[in-house]
Amino acid sequence: MDKLKNSFKTTFTKSVALPGLAVILIISLYCGIFPSQANDTLNIIKVYFFSNLSWIYVLLVTIFILFLIIIALSKLGNIRLGADNAKPKYSFFSWIAMLFAAGMGIGLMYFGVAETISHYANPAIGDTIKRAKEAQLYTFFHWGIHAWAIYAVMGLILAYFAYRYKLPLAIRSGLYPLLKDKINGPIGNVVDTFALCSTFFGIATTLGFGVVQLNAGLTSIGLLSESSFTFQAIIVVVVMAIAVTSTLTGLDKGVKKLSELNLSLAFILMVFILIMGPTVYILSTLSEGIGYYVSNFTNLTFNTFAYETESLDWFSGWTIMYWAWWISWAPFVGLFIARISKGRTIREYIIAVLLIPSLFNFLWMTVFGSSAVWLDKHVVGGALSALSNNPDILLFRFFEEFPLTSVLNVLAILMIAVFFVTSADSGILVMNSIASGDKRNTPKWQNIFWGILLAILSLVMLRSGGLDALQTMTLISALPFGLIMLLLCFCLWKALRIDHLFHNAELPYGSIAWNGSMWKERLSRIITFSQKKDIHSFLSNTVNSAFEEIKEELFENNIEAAINKGSKNDLFIELLIRHDKIRNFRYGVVAEPQTLSDYIIQEENAPDIEAGTTYVPITYFNDGRSGNNIQYMTKDEIIVDILREYERFISLISDDKNELLVVDK
């Protein structure tokens, strides 16, 4: 009995896994049993969101891009995703390969030809030359930096808090700067449950639609007799079986090897089309397309088509749909990117995730998209444009215009299948991680469970026609999650600022010149958190004695100085040298309160603390510069510090270039 119990042990977090499964089953059954009703209802919500709130989607993506650029260009970009001495676990090639596999690998196969041809066939865009140019531009726009910025933001937030703060690799961890330990409460549970459901529905929808294309491809090369639910069910079972097997071998073997294989196959296929297609035209449009994209980048980023109302339907159906889709996939892809990015600096991470996949996408979309446009215009007389509404078979019709068509079809089908597997297995790993609270060594049956659930519900959607409703629901959920991502950006910025200050904090000013003498007295001061009475004693004795000696020595040199003192409630003391023509010299010390953290107060193996506030003696000067903490200084060291400041003062007022700053006006 105990053996049976141990074999079914689970690491699922009940507060996330159980409500997540309940939501997944309820929505899936609703979309599966009442597909038309569900689709109609959800479409009303989607149309309202896309028509009236499209500016929010645009604003969110714009903020994400600017946020990443600012961090990458600032000193915060030097922070490493992990300890300061952490090293990347994966080679650069493996890292990039897995980014593609999880992010949008299958989309490259599905839309490489289809999207460019769809824009090209759009009669609303001027003549054929303008249509071709605009088609490439908007394909770059939808698959380039903007798309990857969404993934990069989510991945950065998760990787930073997981590897720098040593929190669980979960979206709730990103709220730590605001909620602290409360992230383990109801709010954290709701956020992670949302991420679990979003990941499941995104993968299920992609799996369902992708199987249709794979079925169409197998039919086109004669391996299957028709596109039917029976064949689609067989494909789903085979793909999910391979995916589950891949997850059981681990991230370092299954997912990594498959990702590297597919990126290599993609490169081979792309080079073949480039060489055998209109090579000069492709390379020319690549150069011009990137330039056109860069020159229109700002306009594309901020454009909401407010003045072009006749194009709003197109804008909602393409750009806003893409932004919603990428945001809805952000929990899944972000978690996966975070898992493989430990050890890289934030700057390296941002530049690589934004630029390298985008540049590859530009090259891929140009090779396939521009070739398709050229063939459609000069060879097949619009045959490809005629299939713009049937993307399932468009890629295979495209291959008919090249030599070795059968080989290309087989290679494309293999790539689609492997992309399915890598999307599914990485998705299974991510869902299991979310549902388990990022626990390690989870039972193997949990990965099998997620794979079976994905397969069953995807088949239910395929059979009932509920995939459209499920996709619509996924797109609707993107808006609230986009707002959560905005809050997470604020939390990350706050944490990065604190991190930078913490790791760049200098040694206490008064300890710079320490030697071994008086070490016991210095230790006593370090472990004592001073109260007002302690600072009053320090100012009255140590600081005042130093001021008196300096005052006497100045008087011997015909310079008058005064010592001003505050009250017990307003603790300060200052040495003042007045001047007629130039600004006065002032060296003051004031007691400044500092609030102690709850953690050190509650820590047993730490200095005893009488109150939650301590006081430190901070210097101040006549020119408003920031002062220093001198609580560890002796009388003689304070005298040296005064002389250092006075020497600086004399040096500055002696230079006539400083007249504007030193003359008392």
Q: What is the pLDDT of residues 381-410, one digit of tens each?
A: 888 888 888 777 888 889 999 998 888 888
Higher confidence at residue 17 or residue 388? Answer: 17
Beta-carbon-side half-sphere exposure of residue 465 (alpha carbons within 13 Å) = 7
Q: Are residues 107 and 11 in the same domain?
A: yes
Element (H, E) at 593: strand 585-595
Mean pLDDT of 478-501: 91
What percent of the chain has pLDDT above 70?
93
Tell me whether residue 93 is in a domain: yes
Is a pLDDT exceeding 80 seen at residue 123?
no
pTM of the full predicted structure?
A: 0.81
Q: How does residue 103 score in pLDDT terms, banded at 50, 70 and 90?
A: low
**What number of residues does the chain have?**
665
| Mean pLDDT of all residues belonging to the chain | 85
Q: Are residues 554 and 438 in the same domain?
A: no
Q: Domain tally for the chain?
A: 2
Tell me whether residue 510 is in a domain: no
Higher confidence at residue 374 or residue 123? Answer: 374
Asked if 487 and 187 count as a contact pair (C-beta separation under 8 A), the reply is no
| pLDDT recorded at residue 598 | 76
What percent of the chain has pLDDT above 90?
29
- Distance linking the first and last C-alpha atoms of the chain: 91
Q: Are residues 26 and 111 in the same domain?
A: yes
| pLDDT recorded at residue 489 | 95
| pLDDT recorded at residue 296 | 93
Is a pLDDT exceeding 80 seen at residue 664?
no
Look at residues 501, 529, 563 and tell me which one is the last residue of a structural domain: 501
Q: Are residues 252 and 195 in the same domain?
A: yes
Is a pLDDT exceeding 80 seen at residue 665?
no
| pLDDT recorded at residue 1 | 46
* pLDDT per position as a tens digit, 289-331: 999 999 999 999 998 888 887 778 888 888 888 898 899 888 8
Instruction: Please tell me the distance from the alpha carbon of residue 325 to that of residue 140, in angstroms, as a whole number.
Output: 16
3-state class of 197 per DSSP? helix
Q: Are residues 355 and 400 in the same domain?
A: yes
Instruction: Please tell me the distance from the alpha carbon of residue 164 to that of residue 416, in angstroms, as a whole number.
Output: 36
Higher confidence at residue 298 or residue 244? Answer: 298
Instruction: Please tell me the distance from the alpha carbon of residue 332 to that of residue 154, in angstroms, as a whole number.
Output: 9
| pLDDT recorded at residue 4 | 45
Neighbouring CB atoms inside 10 A of 60's CB total 22
Look at residues 501, 527, 547 and tell me which one is the last residue of a structural domain: 501
- Across 476-501, b (16+ Cβ under 10 Å) vs e yields bbbbebbebbbebbebbeebbeebee
Domain that holds residue 338: 2-501
| pLDDT recorded at residue 576 | 94
Q: Are residues 554 and 641 in the same domain?
A: yes
Weakest-pLDDT range from 29-33, 217-221, 317-321, 369-373: 217-221
3-state class of 443 per DSSP? coil
Tell me whether residue 119 is in a domain: yes
Instruction: Please tell me the distance from the alpha carbon of residue 593 to that of residue 534, in angstroms, as a whole number.
Output: 13
Instruction: Give the domain CATH number at 156.
Output: 1.20.1740
Q: Are residues 424 and 459 in the same domain?
A: yes
| pLDDT recorded at residue 619 | 94
Q: Are residues 458 and 523 in the same domain?
A: no
Tell me whether residue 509 is in a domain: no
Most confident range, picked from 308-317, 440-449, 580-589: 580-589
Q: Are residues 284 and 431 in the same domain?
A: yes
Q: Are residues 448 and 533 in the same domain?
A: no
Tell me whether residue 512 is in a domain: no
Q: Computed over its alpha carbons, how large is the radius of gyration of the chain? A: 32
Q: How does residue 165 score in pLDDT terms, banded at 50, 70 and 90?
A: confident
Q: Are residues 534 and 494 in the same domain?
A: no
3-state class of 595 per DSSP? strand
Instruction: Please tell me the distance from the alpha carbon of residue 318 to that of residue 304, in angstroms, as a whole number.
Output: 12
Instruction: Please tell me the distance from the alpha carbon of residue 301 to that of residue 303, in angstroms, as a whole number.
Output: 6
Is a pLDDT exceeding 70 seen at residue 5?
no
Is a pLDDT exceeding 60 seen at residue 436?
yes
* pLDDT per position as a tens digit, 187-205: 989 989 988 888 888 788 7
| pLDDT recorded at residue 127 | 61
Mean pLDDT of 276-282: 93
Give 514's contacts (C-beta < 8 A, 6+ positions apart). 522, 632
Instruction: Please tell me the distance from the alpha carbon of residue 251 to that of residue 258, in angstroms, as a whole number.
Output: 10
Tell me whether residue 555 is in a domain: yes
Is a pLDDT exceeding 90 seen at residue 654?
no
Closest C-alpha to 458, from 203, 659, 650: 203
DSSP string, 480-549: HHHHHHHHHHHHHHHHHHHHHHHHTPPPPGGGTT--STTHHHHHHHHT----HHHHHHHIIIIIHHHHHH
Look at residues 501, 527, 542 and tell me which one is the last residue of a structural domain: 501
Closest C-alpha to 148, from 64, 255, 91, 266: 64
Tell me whether residue 508 is in a domain: no
Instruction: Please tell me the distance from the alpha carbon of residue 394 to that of residue 74, in angstroms, as a whole number.
Output: 45
| pLDDT recorded at residue 100 | 66
Mean pLDDT of 530-553: 91
Mean pLDDT of 141-168: 92
Mean pLDDT of 256-263: 75
Q: In what order do the strands lie in the sheet with 613-621?
A: 562-565, 572-577, 585-595, 613-621
Tell me whether residue 128 is in a domain: yes
Q: Are residues 492 and 590 in the same domain?
A: no
Instruction: Please tell me the distance from the alpha carbon of residue 158 to that of residue 202, in angstroms, as a whole number.
Output: 19
Instruction: Please tell me the distance from the alpha carbon of residue 289 to that of residue 141, in angstroms, as a whole number.
Output: 11
What distances in angstroms separate CA 16 from CA 172, 174, 191, 450, one per listed residue?
11, 17, 9, 15
Mean pLDDT of 599-623: 81
Q: How does residue 125 score in pLDDT terms, banded at 50, 70 and 90?
A: low
